Structure formats: C-alpha cells, structure tokens
Amino acid sequence: MAAYEANGGYNSLKTNIGQRTPAECLEIIKDSNLRGRGGAGFPTGMKWSFVPMDNATPGHKYLICNADEMEPGTFKDRLLMECDPHQLIEGMILSAYTLQADIAYIFIRAEYHKAIGLLREAITACHEKGYLGDNILGSGFSLEMHVHVSAGRYICGEETALISSLEGKRANPRAKPPFPQVSGLWGRPTIVNNVETLCNIHHILEFGADWFQALGKGEDAGTKLYGVSGRVKNPGCWELPIGTSIREIIEDHAGGMEDGYSLRGFLPGGGSTDFLTPEHLDLAMDYGTIGKAGSRMGTGTMIVLDDKTCPIGFIHNLTSFFARESCGFCTPCRDGLPWSAQVLESLENGDGRPEDLETLAYQIDYIGAIGNTHCALAPGAMEPVQSALKYFREDFEAHINEGCCPYERSASGGAVS
C-alpha cells in the first residue's frame, strides 16, 4: 500500500469518488475508446451503458473481474495481479462507483496461489484505509469486494458461464438475451470485465480520455500487454502502445527466434485464434488490422510455431484441450471437438487417410460456424485447425502419404519408430 500510494496510487480514487458523478465517469470511459482486453475487444463504455442506472432497478448491482485466465498461451493477467494488485483493486472500485455497483468479485483460478494471497492482503489494506467498505472516503458510496477462488474452467471465459459458476452451479453458458448487464448474477445487473481492462480504468479517470487515446498508434486507444511464448530467445510480456507491429514484438522484444529455428507461423491472440505467417509480421497488433488479416487479436499473447515443430501435433494438443474444456451442453461442441481431436491424433500417429482432410473441413464448416453452437468455445477451437489447413496443408498430406509424422522421423535421424 505504501509503495503504491507513493507512486500516485489511489489519487484517482480520491479525485473521482464523490467529486464526479457516476454519469460523468461513464462518459469519460466511453470517450476514451477503451476496448475489452479479455479477447472480444468490445467497447467498455458501451457495455457499461447498458446497465440500468439510478433507481431504475433498486437492489444489488455486481461487478465481476474475470481473473480465471484459461486461454492457452496467455499469462498477462497473472503478472498484473502478482506485480501490482492495488492497480486492479483501484480500477475495480472506480468501475463499481461508475456502475453504482455495491458488491464486487474477483473470480480467479485456484492455481494462481500467489495472486490470491496478494489480492486478499490488498483488500484488507484498503479496508484499513477506508478505500473499501461503508461510506468510502465520506462519499456515501459503499462497496464490498471478495476474492472467489474458482475450480478453473476454460468455459468460464464466457461471462454467463462464469456467472453460473459463481452462483454455485455448473459452468454452462446461458442464452442471451437477457444480457448480464440487465439480468446477471442472481438475476441482478452485472458487469464482467477482464483484469487488464479494469486496470486501465483509474488511469483513464485520472488523466482523461484524450490522454488515453493518444497512447495508441492507430484507431485503437491505450497500451496493450503483448506476450510471446514458444522458441524465441526472450519469451515474456511487455506493455506497448496498441498497434505496435508484430515484427517489433517478436524480433525486438522477444529477441527473435532461437538459434537454429525459423518462424513458420503464430497464433496472435492465444490458442483460439487463426494462424498468421511471416508475411504478416509487419501488421499492427490491433483489433481491426488482425481481423482483416483473417485472425483475431484476442488476448494479444502470441504462440509461436517454429519450423521443427509439427503443426498437426501443435493443433492436436490445442484441440484436445478445448475438447476437455467443453461444458457438454451442445452436441457440436461436446461430440464434435473430441471427434476432431481423434482425427488429428490419427494423422499424427501415421494412421491418417485422405478423407480425413474432408472430415476436418466438414467439422470446420459445421462446428466452427457461429450460431451452430450455444457459445463461441467450439468456433474458437476450430480457428487454429482451419488456418493450419490453409497454411500448412502440405504437412497434413505428408502425414498421410508417408504414414508417419515427418517431424518425428527427422528428429530421429530418419528412423520411424
């Protein structure tokens, strides 16, 4: 607390709560053009504007921070919570004030032991300083905040599945409408936002919408936490202006590929995004640019595929994960994803047939189509499959023609076990 306050922490809290109205705070967030940093990129201020304000719905309103962070290849939120827990809490207090929410939850995966302890310590310190609890800073605004340790399910990245889990139910997504902003946790107005999104709020309210917009390099505003994992020299996570080029992130900050390895492709925003290739290196990492290139920026955390790693093995690993994480509610996801994983496993083991590629194409068209499944888990899971077939089809064909994984044969000096 002392270190955070010495660096300007909670100044935004003191200059906004009771000094600006919630409506004024909301207008600043809308003007800032902050977009959600959890993957979808939906405008935060617009999302918040759907919450009934004033006395339209008397009773509790809820703010939920999604800190479950189950997207493969993504680790940015863990770093935020471990290195600066008060930043998240100050952002949540100001967000709750803007939304007139009186109860807030941090929904966090059980494996984040260090972050859980630090957040609980920080919440206790905030109560001692009068930043949480009843009548915060004499403003008349009160807020309870709790850390909820979840069982950890990928499906909880879908906000209504998270809400179901928080209520003690099976983590199944709900049909929309009604949307959580109107009827969410226990039927009350609820906003669910990602850790990184909420960490921006107090900076925006302190320095203004124009300041935040000026931080970006293009149409999108602010900074972004970009991460890189895989065979690069310096895997990690960096805060950079949103719109920084992919080449700068991979070659300058991640140090480029390890010696002896070349870049074949990368998933730009976690495991549920489409592959891009070296021809896309000079693109800006922002929502619109990556979307036009045929993928999604998602969480902004890249998984690199090198030239000595089998792309079929790569996507089989991902598809098997997504199959396990299906909530089981709808048939295309519950049965289609294990089927896809089985086909990929056969190809990787050298048992593939030419018709397997037709089967995968069928599954991509059916499982991957938005509207054929109850939520976006299965369509997201098929994105790396469809783009692998697009960019690495010769690898699929080699597995079939040679009756083995060529990469395993190469690694064993030509022998096939």
pLDDT in tens, 115-156: 999 999 999 999 999 999 999 999 999 999 999 999 878 999
Cα 23 to Cα 211: distance, rounded to the nearest angstrom: 20
DSSP run (H or E) holding 67 = strand 62-67
In angstroms, rounded to a whole number, what is the distance separating the alpha carbons of residues 244 and 225?
11
* CATH of region 311-411: 1.20.1440.230
Bridge-based pairing state of the strands 263-267 and 301-306: antiparallel
Confidence of residue 40 (pLDDT cuts 50, 70, 90): confident
**Mean per-residue pLDDT of the chain:** 93
Of 3.30.565.10, 3.90.1300.10, 3.40.50.11540, 3.20.19.10, the CATH number of 2-214 is 3.40.50.11540
Does 309 have pLDDT greater than 50? yes
The domain made up of 223-304 has a fold known as: Ubiquitin-like (UB roll) (3.10.20)
**pLDDT exceeds cutoff 50 at 391:** yes
Separation of alpha carbons 358 and 148, rounded Å: 44
Tell whether the model's pLDDT for residue 65 goes beyond 70. yes
Confidence of residue 54 (pLDDT cuts 50, 70, 90): confident
What's the whole-number mean pLDDT along residues 376-398? 94
Whether residue 36 contacts residue 235, with contact meaning beta carbons closer than 8 Å, is answered with: no
CATH 3.40.50.11540 domain span(s) along the chain? 2-214
Q: pLDDT value at position 57?
A: 77
pLDDT at 411: 60
Q: Where in the chain is the domain with CATH 1.20.1440.230?
A: 311-411
Whether residue 177 is preceded by a cis peptide bond, meaning omega within 30 degrees of 0, is: yes
- As a whole number of angstroms, the distance between CA 370 and CA 378 comes to 9
Token digits for 148? 């909820």
**CA separation for the pair 416, 413 (Å, rounded):** 9
Closest CA to 95 of 185, 14, 205: 205
pLDDT of residue 417 exceeding 70, the answer is no
Interval 79-105 mean pLDDT: 97
Q: Which residues pair with 194 in a beta bridge?
A: 66
pLDDT tens for 159-203 read: 999 999 999 999 999 988 999 999 999 999 999 999 999 999 999
Q: What is the pLDDT of residue 368?
A: 85
**Tokens 């089985």 identify what position?**
342
Share of the chain above pLDDT 70, in %: 98
Q: Name the token pair of 271.
A: 């495991």
Q: Give the integer Cα–Cα distance in Å for 405 and 416.
A: 9
CA 281, CA 277: separation in Å to the nearest integer?
7
pLDDT average, residue stretch 311-328: 94
pLDDT of residue 416: 40
